[in-house]
Amino acid sequence: MMRLNKFLAKAGVLARRKCDHYIFSGMVFVNGKKIDDPSYKIDEKKDEVFLNNKRIVLKEKYRYIVLNKPKGCVTTLKDEKGRKKVIDYVNVKERLFPIGRLDVNTTGVLLLTNDGEIAYRLSHPKYQIDKIYNVILDKQISGKDIQKLRKGVIIGKDEVVSAEAKIIENKYKKNMVRIKIHTGKKRQIKRMFNTIRYNVLELDRTEFAGIKKDELKLGSWRNLTKDEVETLRKLVI
């Protein structure tokens, strides 16, 4: 037996949180009966599950991809403004969706998959997934302010967040800081630096959950290796 939202996620419909939305909206039927409870238990081998009149079955083969996201594209699957989407860069037959999000002008490592359960877990704050960024600031940061980031700064309503941070020596791009966070709050890094009076000029994610872009050019992608997929699973399962 399996929870209905987990079944939909494993079938590659969407990440589990999005599946909950479909269920609450009354769009999911099990054996002809409308179900609005994400925790409803089904027999994945016997029960017939429909979403928007389409039969949903478990996928036997999942795909995992890393994209070096360029600037100017969004991580949503649809965009009312007609902007380019990350999925437009990945020409595969499977219906993939991003694991988490990057702002439209943030570049770097973005994972895509049709494995809804892995996507849900890697995006959940419970698992404290490492995310590493290179940040270009509008001015050189002081050692004192680096310590503030490490100890924690306030963003939003009395919400304290911290990060591992260090200054990177780079003769081509000055004022660079490398920062590691374990949470993924909206525009978190920019808000952290704004709190200590710095503006972020460029933001590039170099690593997510141990997956790096290596030599991938902007807009290029590759399949994850079996070892990389296994590493992801060990982090969250």
Per-residue tens of pLDDT for the chain, all 237 residues: 999 998 998 887 777 778 899 999 999 999 999 999 999 999 988 999 999 889 898 866 899 999 999 999 999 888 889 999 999 999 998 889 999 999 999 999 999 999 988 999 999 999 999 999 999 999 999 999 999 999 999 997 778 899 999 999 877 777 999 999 998 788 999 999 999 999 999 999 999 999 999 899 999 999 999 999 999 999 998
| Residues 116, 223 share a domain | yes
* Residue from 103, 138, 158, 214 carrying the catalytic annotation: 103
Confirm whether 103 is a catalytic residue.
Answer: yes
b/e code 169-180 from CB counts within 10 Å (16+ = b): eeeeeebbbbbe
pLDDT on residue 44 = 86
pLDDT on residue 60 = 63
Query: Whole-model pTM?
Result: 0.78
Residue 150 belongs to domain spanning = 130-208
| Residue (of 69, 79, 70) closest to 99 by Cα position | 69
| Residues 232, 122 share a domain | yes
Say if residue 60 is exposed, middle or buried (CB neighbours under 10 Å; 0-12, 13-18, 19+): exposed
Establish if 48 belongs to a structural domain. Answer: yes
Overall domain count for the chain: 3
Establish if 213 belongs to a structural domain. Answer: no
C-alpha span between 98 and 100 (Å, rounded): 6
Q: Report how far apart, in Å, the C-alpha atoms of 103 and of each of 6, 75, 189 are.
A: 27, 8, 11
CATH number of the domain to which 50 belongs: 3.10.290.10
For residues 139, 145, 151, 156, the Cα torsion angle rounded to the nearest 10 degrees is -60
| Residues 192, 170 share a domain | yes
Write out the E strands in the chain.
Answer: 2-3, 28-30, 33-34, 41-42, 49-51, 54-56, 64-69, 97-98, 107-113, 131-137, 153-155, 159-161, 164-168, 176-181, 200-208, 211-212, 221-223
| Residues 232, 202 share a domain | no
Establish if 28 belongs to a structural domain. Answer: yes
- Tokens 């988490």 label which residue? 100
| Residues 201, 168 share a domain | yes
